[in-house]
Chain A
Amino acid sequence: MTNYADSHDPALESATDIMYELRLYVAGQTPRSVAAFANLKAICETHLAGRYRIEIVDLVEQPQLAKRDQILAIPTLVRNLPQPIRKIIGDLSNTERVLVGLDLIPVADHR
């Protein structure tokens, strides 16, 4: 049903039913924020359809939340689940690096 059926990595195969909880920190409706959200949405639909949840945190509205995940750079994507927590910064335009950051492509395979 998904592209992961093609994957030969047993670890990834066994991880196909894991739920991804993602949190995207932005600061206002900046072009970069909008782009980051669009890029994330596309990647998730492609690689994690049906098993991801995205929470958007706008620090302009909720600045106290920046402390929770030690956010400095904007935009920052935090993968809360599965453990361990991973952070990806930038507008997520480099899909390959996003997939590495989310552990969707093993680092070793990514040359």
Chain B
Amino acid sequence: MRHSPHLSARRHVLQKAPTGIHGIDEITNGGLPRGRPTLVCGSAGCGKTLLAMEFLIHGALEYAEPGVFIAFEETADELTRNVASLGYDLELMGEQNQLVVETIHVDRSEIEETGEYDLEGLFIRIGFAIDSIGAQRIVLDTIEALFSSFANEAILRAELRRLFRWLKERGVTAIVTAERGNQALTRHGLEEYVADCVILLDHRVDDEISTRRLRMVKYRGSTHGTNEYPFFIGEHGITVLPLTSASLEYEVGDERISTGVAQLDEMLGGPGIIRGSSMLISGTAGSGKTSLIATFVDAACRRGERCLFMSFEESVSQICRNMRSIGIDLVPWIDQGLLRFSTQRPTAYGLELHLMSIIEQVHTFQPRVVVLDPITNFSAVGTTSDVKAMLVRLFDLLKSQDVTLCCTSLTEAGGDAEHTDVGVSSLMDTWILLRNIETHGERNRGLYILKSRGIAHSNQVREMIMTSEGIKLVDVYLGTGMILTGSARLLAEAQAAAELAQAEARSERRARDVERRRRVIAAQIAALEAELAADEALWQEEARQEAIERRISQTLRHSLRQERHSGMHGEIPSSQVRLDSDD
């Protein structure tokens, strides 16, 4: 992609010498022009010497190209001390013939000029230094010092021109440093002699924040980035950040990692979040963002993964102390080298430098988890779009390396909770919202999962409780259309229990009532049935008597009729006697 196909004559394409400095090789598509001098200019203190020295150190250590550093201003001791802070040992490199520092000191006051001369002595010294270790790289820092040493500028300029031609003929890749001039790039017009590649370093202060910037003014025969690229001098030297390096092309995995809170993992479908994804925890002040993130970090360290914790608000000792109160001890992880804290005030320097500082630490520490706590503080050093642009690049970079990113975002009290000040929520894979739920004179913490890409996640609100054994999530009390937390939840739960008991008692009493009524009614039924039976018995008796009487009267009428026919009356008293005995 970097090499266009029509560049078929690859052999004739400019050969390049990689600098080994993060970013510069990307901007220059491979490094500085090999075998030619490059001019690095800039004002005092903008990092010229360091850039040049790194060019030599990386060249010697990484590309097996020994180098010579010709120092006109600093002594070898000073240079050795300066780069020792970056972790390089110039003395050792000198012993191993990787890098030679040659100090050239000239004091004009002790020199009298008495006729024609040339700088063959300088050539011989440089040549001797190059030959002594077979150097392929050389730095002249800064050759302008010669202008204050020699009165005859005409001779000097002629000799400089000869020097650069001579260096080219020798085929060494050279860096020549020079001070920035008022009008021209350099104070003494060195760009006139070094025509191939010019790098300008700048150190500006905008809004009280100083930023170093690098620009390729010129690179003959090569494509190169033309922007101003911010750079950063960290504990491992210079890092330049090419703004365009981030892209959306990266592999994603589906490994899941725990958040450290079992109940939260459950809400996230069981195993937790996806490795290499990004998680945002937003919430108002005091909603427990840092505690939740520290739990996550603790869990990662337990798995033996390295974590980089960028804290923009609290100091290391403060965080460690605070987390001990919820039963999380981060100190052992720091001691074991699993956890690295980086505490910086966001206003300490510009956005770009923050980004580069993070990137540099990611490069050197190789963490699996990176924490930014909180990202909202960046709005103090940049506009929302700047902050977002920076974070996008960071997210892309981390994702491309399968690093899990976790950041917190502070929501202003009273603001819309589902809104982050830096507008990054759309970039995040998982968004956990912590909300203070204020009821009944207390604040409690509610936890929601607003989204979690690629994970079936709970839509429930949980109450987050901080105990001395860590963070716990409990179900909130859901009843009568509202959620209750804290003591209100406890109260509501107790009330519910009491109500249940009461209801049970009521129902028992009711059952007893019914039973009693059933028994009463049963008794009444029995009584009525008895009454009915009695009525029936009476009715049958009456019916029998009626039948008897009817029979008697029939008999009587029959006998009367017979008597009328025969005139006899004697049998009537006997039937009367029988009736009486029956009664």
Instruction: Name A residues whose Cβ lies closer than 8 Å to a Cβ of B.
Output: 25, 27, 32, 36, 39, 59-60, 63-64, 66-67, 70-76, 84-94, 97-98, 100-101
Contact = CB atoms under 8 A, between A and B. Distances in A.
Given A63-B124, A73-B118, A73-B121, 4 more contacts: A32-B117, A71-B121, A73-B119, A74-B117
Contacts of B251: none
B112 interface: yes
Contact of A59 (B110, B116, B121): B121
Contact of B112 (A25, A70, A85, A100): A100
A90 B112 CA distance: 8
A7 B102 CA distance: 44
B118 A93 contact: no
Given A59-B124, A60-B124, A85 B110 contact: yes
B125 A66 contact: yes
Contacts of B114: 88-94, 97-98, 101
A98 B125 CA distance: 25
Given A85-B110, A86-B112, A27 B121 contact: yes
A61 B556 CA distance: 187
Given A74-B119, A74-B121, A86 B113 contact: no
Interface residues of B, number: 24
Main SS at interface, chain B: mixed
B105 A70 contact: yes
Contact of A97 (B106, B112, B120): B112
A105 B335 CA distance: 72
For B111, B115, B119, B128, the residue with the greatest tally of chain A CB atoms inside 10 Å of its CB is B115
A96 B110 CA distance: 16
B125 A89 contact: no
A70 B104 contact: yes
A97 B111 CA distance: 11
Contact of B124 (A66, A86, A93): A66
12 contacts: A60-B124, A66-B121, A67-B102, A67-B125, A73-B120, A74-B118, A76-B117, A87-B110, A87-B112, A88-B114, A91-B114, A98-B114
Nearest to A27: B120
B114 to A, nearest CB: 4
Contacts of B104: 70, 72
Contact of A89 (B112, B127, B146): B112
A84 B109 CA distance: 13
Which of A66, A73, A75 counts the most B-chain CB atoms under 10 A from its CB?
Answer: A73
A73 to B, nearest CB: 4
Given A86-B110, A90-B115, A59 B102 contact: no
Nearest to B150: A73
B111 A25 contact: no
B128 A64 contact: yes
A92 B119 CA distance: 15
Contacts of A88: 111-114
3 closest Cβ contacts across the A-B interface?
A: A101-B112, A90-B115, A93-B115
Interface string B126-169: 01100000000000000000100110000000000000000000
A39 B116 CA distance: 13
Contacts of B112: 86-89, 97-98, 100-101
A89 B120 contact: no
